[in-house]
């Protein structure tokens, strides 16, 4: 049976979220530009790039390639950016040589999708492998304390004249935030399931993978990371 992320990031996802916020993408890349301005441009990997809205902007920081598992989102990325290189692959098995990149980004909560923590550790090990010595990994993730405190249990969206229900919950063990998306018109449903890694969990996982945290922020403007921050944005260097 296909995993939830293999089923969800397709045509129905694009119908529900047709215009992900380009302003947020520009703000996220702007934060990277400010923090990495002293570094020489190099090769950039946008890991889990989706439709490529960040990948295109990341060219300001060097030659960039986008990687994603969804053929639907990659098709859209290539249509919007015919000159850009986009690769279909699983982030647990990156199809690149050791030390290929000086910067790897994983933006807009594109981490935490797997059932076991060991699989997330494998992703970080692969990131470490394809980063050059001294290269930087940037993770833009949800901030678990903020999610727990602000979760909206139910809302609705109108899509193509029909209503789509979105129901959110945290699993009884507190480890995952789950969103169930259901179309009232035809009953189709999908599930998003993201691991609620606390910032301390991420720091520990980074260090275990040979990635040393060097900076962190709570939003795209560069504010400090606190319990109330909407994002947990961590910069780590390959050691």
Tokens 């910067």 map to which residue?
103
The answer to whether 117 and 125 have CB atoms below 8 angstroms apart is no
Sheet of 131-142: strand order equals 86-88, 62-68, 42-47, 101-106, 131-142, 231-238, 211-217
The answer to whether 24 and 221 have CB atoms below 8 angstroms apart is no
The domain spans of the chain are 4-142+197-238, 147-192
Residue 72's Cβ-count burial label (10 Å; 0-12, 13-18, 19+) is middle
Does the pLDDT of residue 19 top 70, yes or no?
no
Instruction: Write down how long the chain is.
Output: 239
Query: Which pLDDT value is given to residue 159?
Result: 85
Does the pLDDT of residue 121 top 70, yes or no?
yes
Domain 4-142+197-238 has CATH 3.40.50.720: no
The C-alpha atoms of residue 143 and residue 145 are separated, in whole angstroms, by 6
The C-alpha atoms of residue 168 and residue 176 are separated, in whole angstroms, by 11
Does this model's pTM top 0.85? yes
Query: Which pLDDT value is given to residue 16?
Result: 86
Does the pLDDT of residue 31 top 90, yes or no?
yes
Q: Read off the pLDDT of residues 36-53 as tens digits, 9 standing for 90 and up.
A: 999 999 999 999 999 999
> What mean pLDDT comes out for the span 173-179?
97
Q: Read off the pLDDT of residues 226-236 as tens digits, 9 standing for 90 and up.
A: 999 999 999 99
Q: What is the mean pLDDT of the chain?
A: 96
Q: Read off the pLDDT of residues 52-91 as tens digits, 9 standing for 90 and up.
A: 999 999 999 999 999 999 999 999 999 999 989 999 999 9
> What mean pLDDT comes out for the span 195-207?
98
Does the pLDDT of residue 185 top 90, yes or no?
no
């Amino acid at each position: 049976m296909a995993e939830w992320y293999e089923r969800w990031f397709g045509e129905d996802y694009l119908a529900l979220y047709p215009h992900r916020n380009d302003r947020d993408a520009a703000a996220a890349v702007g934060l990277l530009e400010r923090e990495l301005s002293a570094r020489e441009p190099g090769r950039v990997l946008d890991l889990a790039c989706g439709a490529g809205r960040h990948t295109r902007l990341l060219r300001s920081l060097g030659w960039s390639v986008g990687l994603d598992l969804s053929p639907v989102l990659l098709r859209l990325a290539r249509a919007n950016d015919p000159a850009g290189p986009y690769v279909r692959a699983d982030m647990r098995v990156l199809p690149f040589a050791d030390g290929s990149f000086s910067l790897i980004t994983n933006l807009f909560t594109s981490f935490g999708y797997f059932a076991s923590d060991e699989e997330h550790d494998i992703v970080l090990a692969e990131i470490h492998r394809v980063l050059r010595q001294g290269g930087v990994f940037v993770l833009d993730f949800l901030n678990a304390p903020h999610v727990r405190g602000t979760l909206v249990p139910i809302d609705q969206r109108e899509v193509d004249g029909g209503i789509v229900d979105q129901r959110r919950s945290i699993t009884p063990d507190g480890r995952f935030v789950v969103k169930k998306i259901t179309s009232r018109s035809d009953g189709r449903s999908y599930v998003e399931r993201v691991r609620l890694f606390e910032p301390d969990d991420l720091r520990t996982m980074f260090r275990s993978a040979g990635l040393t945290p060097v900076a962190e922020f709570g939003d795209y403007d560069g504010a400090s990371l606190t319990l109330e921050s909407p994002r947990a944005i961590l910069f780590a260097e390959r050691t």
